[in-house]
Amino acid sequence: MTLRSIILTPLFMLVCAAGFAQPVEHLQSNGDITNEGVITIYGNARISQPTIGGQVEYRRDRADSQWVAHTTYQHLLLGGRSRKMLVDPLRPVRTTQMFRTTDSLVLVDLIPSTIIEALDSVNHRGRINPWGTQGTLRLSGAVRQPATGDGSVPVLEIANADAVDLFNNSALRVTDRLDLQNGRVENSVQSNLVLDSAAWIWRRAEGSLRTEVRTQGSMHLRWYGDSALVSGPEVPSSRTILDSLQQDVLLGVTLSSDAWVNKHLSLTGSLMTEQSDTLRHIVYLASTQDPTFINAWAEVDGTLQRTRLLNGPRMAMNNTYAWMQFQSPQQQASVRQLRIRSKPLTRPLPLTDILYKVDRSLELTFLDSADRQVVDSTYDMSMGWGWRTPNETTQDLLGKEPQIVLLRYDGSLYQQYGFSQTPTQVSPESIPLWRYSSTQFIRAGGRYAFGMSASPIWVLRGRVFLEGAMRSIGDTASPRMAADLVLRGLLPSTPPAIYPYTFDTKPLGDTASVLADSVVDWVTLEFRKDLVTPGAPEHIETVLLSTSGLLLDPRTMRERAIDSIQPGFYHLVIRHRNHLSVATADPILIDRSNAQASVDFTRGSGLLGGAASQRLVSAYGDRRYFAMTAGNIDGGSGLLTNTEVITNDDLLGIWTNRLLANRYSIFDTNLDGVVTTLDWDTSWNNRGRDNSAIPR
């Protein structure tokens, strides 16, 4: 039966199979209604078919109920003053083109186990479950979905990847939860969503808002899902609106603005407050309630500021093991706010400081009620602190964790500060494993770190170039070496068992944690008391060379801290597997008092043999640059005893192996991974060059 228009009252029903109407209380269809017009229903309805076309209107206008059939409608209109009962738990009410409620007198009684799902336009002016906190309207179309109206719904789910467009001065009201599952809500100041007081916004990474929603009081916010997320306008700009913030994304959420939390902060995953080094935000906790860390590794990665402090009890801060405490009003003094910036996996600045430090930086700021910094030494605080091990414990600190204490930067270096409990404790969780401790008598803000109170003897701050690896040379560009061996996957992560690396008797600790694309090759640095006596040097370090010429610790990719050497004066000798060695002519003081010293071999001055011991490779800017001379391969091949002279034997060795490709080879003098006549040319151009005054 095809219907153009029919009105059904409580006294009539339509039986499609018989083709006639008879007076009964309900519309009960077990057949198939093909509707291309409008069906208006004033009684209850049950339709067994899965879909029905045209427009179906429920318009009972009495102060009692009207039962709505659960099926998929093309157009569905709900009107009249009777309560619309949607109580079938087996299937939702779905619309493919339009869902409409006519006005605020329309009350919809929607049981929790079912939903209204709109796949296209929505014009909602009625009220869904105004007496409860459950009842869901789901917008899940496959194309952009227009929505308007000023009706209310407890739960509004947005699940349209192509977006939901609010228009016509919409003011759709959400009484319990706005759930941003997928797609963007194109809202504006004129057409917006309105949250009732104490309602929630839930958001996954795939869902978003164009702008802030309107609120009628306080609100709560929850992030959830399986993908990392960057916050958006779901975070209110007002300082007083957001009561609770719940972060349930295990992969973390990054803030794109400040967030003011007025009651409770709960973290299942970490909350990152910094989008970059220069774009930083703050989580303000304007409550005396402590944050809750559901998982042991969850933390505020960045800055947390507590704006309501208590004296007496401990107050939790950025992670499970971070807290602060003022034990009396006298100790708190004028401090009314505390800001802690805690950055995991971050070496505390400045990097020129020579102390061994955990890879976690810390900054404290003490503020009064007017946001002014409180004068140091007027307050006295105790603090708990912790870091994750082993991923934040540097190689130099492994096994020394019980000696780690709180350090403070005094403008020139980090020094032990306050009274730290030692040894540091181990958390009961195994993954990740935290180390933690506490410190009393903190009376100053500034930069802090966790590390050793005793500093290394010296820090290797050196620079050297290898002629063969130079690619940017001459007078028009800043000199730079190539990282071809790393880029071709040929550079070993440990020093190979060839000259000169076999001279180092302790190379096991020199495995590179990562071979960055700025690494050129391995070199050794020898510390010798004199340049006359042959034999083993007093100390050797095997390090990586960067494209800019820096000598880097392979474990940290930073300047190498040296502590296993006796203080004193030493000549420094740099050796490479197929370049002539270079040495400082004068000894250098290796001692904590000279820890800031640097040795620049690229200047060609202060070397044994002077500038002639190297090759001039560039005159860029206002200075000349020198590099170690390429082409000396017999040290690694064992062809000659005297390996600091480039001879015909070096040339012969390269020529004989000129067809080697994709190999880490001593015959590859230009360090590009292939042995060709270019490598022979390099050695030929340097034939006869002699640095044999450097002892072996």
For residue 455, give the nearest of 412, 419, 423, 420 by alpha carbon: 412
Residue 66 burial by Cβ neighbours in a 10 Å radius (0-12, 13-18, 19+): buried
Residue 10 scores a pLDDT above 70? no
Computed over every residue of the chain, the mean pLDDT equals 90
Model pLDDT, residue 560? 83
Model pLDDT, residue 308? 97
Alpha helix (H) residue ranges in 451-586: 484-487
CB-based contact 266:233 (threshold 8 Å) = no
Model pLDDT, residue 20? 37
Q: Looking at residues 598-614, what average pLDDT do you find?
A: 93
For residue 223, give the nearest of 258, 251, 248, 198 by alpha carbon: 248
Q: Looking at residues 251-280, what average pLDDT do you find?
A: 97
Residue 117 scores a pLDDT above 90? yes
Model pLDDT, residue 638? 47
Could you tell me how many residues make up the chain?
A: 696
User: Angle CA(23)–CA(28)–CA(32) in degrees, nearest 5?
Assistant: 120
Alpha helix (H) residue ranges in 482-620: 484-487
CA distance 182 to 174: 18
Report CA dihedral (180, 184, 186, 187) to the nearest 10 degrees: 30
CA distance 388 to 258: 26
3-state secondary structure of 124: strand
Q: How many CB atoms lie within 10 A of CB 415?
A: 13
Tell me which residue has tokens 């590099």: 627
CA distance 366 to 371: 9
486 HSE (CA, 13 A, CB side) = 20
Q: pLDDT tens-digit profile of 520-567? A: 999 999 999 999 888 889 999 999 999 999 998 887 777 887 877 888
Residues of the chain with pLDDT > 70: what percent? 92
Q: pLDDT tens-digit profile of 335-369? A: 999 999 999 999 888 766 666 789 999 999 999 99
The amino acid at 580: L
Alpha helix (H) residue ranges in 308-402: 329-332
Question: Is pTM beyond 0.95 here?
Answer: no
DSSP 498: S
Q: Looking at residues 23-40, what average pLDDT do you find?
A: 81
CB-based contact 307:282 (threshold 8 Å) = no
SS3 of the chain: helix, strand, coil, percent, to 5: 10, 45, 50
DSSP 280: B
DSSP 274: B
Pairing mode of beta strands 72-78, 93-101: parallel
Model pLDDT, residue 411? 82
* 160: region left, alpha or beta (phi > 0 left; psi from -120 to 50 alpha): beta
Q: pLDDT tens-digit profile of 127-180? A: 999 988 899 999 999 999 999 999 999 999 999 999 999 999 999 999 999 999
* Residue 520, H or E segment: strand 519-528
In whole angstroms, how large is the CA radius of gyration of the chain? 37
Model pLDDT, residue 395? 81
The pLDDT-based confidence of 9 (bands split at 50, 70, 90) is very low
CA distance 112 to 125: 20
Residue 606 scores a pLDDT above 70? yes
Residue 17 scores a pLDDT above 60? no
Residue 24 scores a pLDDT above 80? no
Q: What is the DSSP string of 630-693?
A: B---HHHHT--S--SB--HHHHHHHHHTTT-BS---TT-TT-SSB--HHHHHHHHHTTT-B-TT
Q: pLDDT tens-digit profile of 189-240? A: 999 999 999 999 999 999 999 999 999 999 999 999 999 999 999 999 999 9
Model pLDDT, residue 8? 45
Tell me which residue has tokens 């402090």: 309
Residue 25 scores a pLDDT above 60? no
Model pLDDT, residue 194? 98
Report CA dihedral (643, 644, 645, 648) to the nearest 10 degrees: 30
* 25: region left, alpha or beta (phi > 0 left; psi from -120 to 50 alpha): alpha
Residue that wins the pLDDT comparison between 275 and 352: 275
Model pLDDT, residue 477? 74
CA distance 93 to 137: 10
Residue 320 scores a pLDDT above 50? yes
Torsions phi, psi of 443, nearest 5? -130, 20
Q: Looking at residues 309-335, what average pLDDT do you find?
A: 96
CB-based contact 540:504 (threshold 8 Å) = yes
DSSP 397: G
Torsions phi, psi of 509, nearest 5? -85, 5
Q: Looking at residues 5-26, what average pLDDT do you find?
A: 41
Instruction: Write out the two tokens for 377.
Output: 């030494």
Q: pLDDT tens-digit profile of 398-418? A: 888 888 999 999 887 788 888
CB-based contact 295:266 (threshold 8 Å) = no
CA distance 664 to 5: 85
Domain ranges of the chain: 1-119, 339-455, 458-627
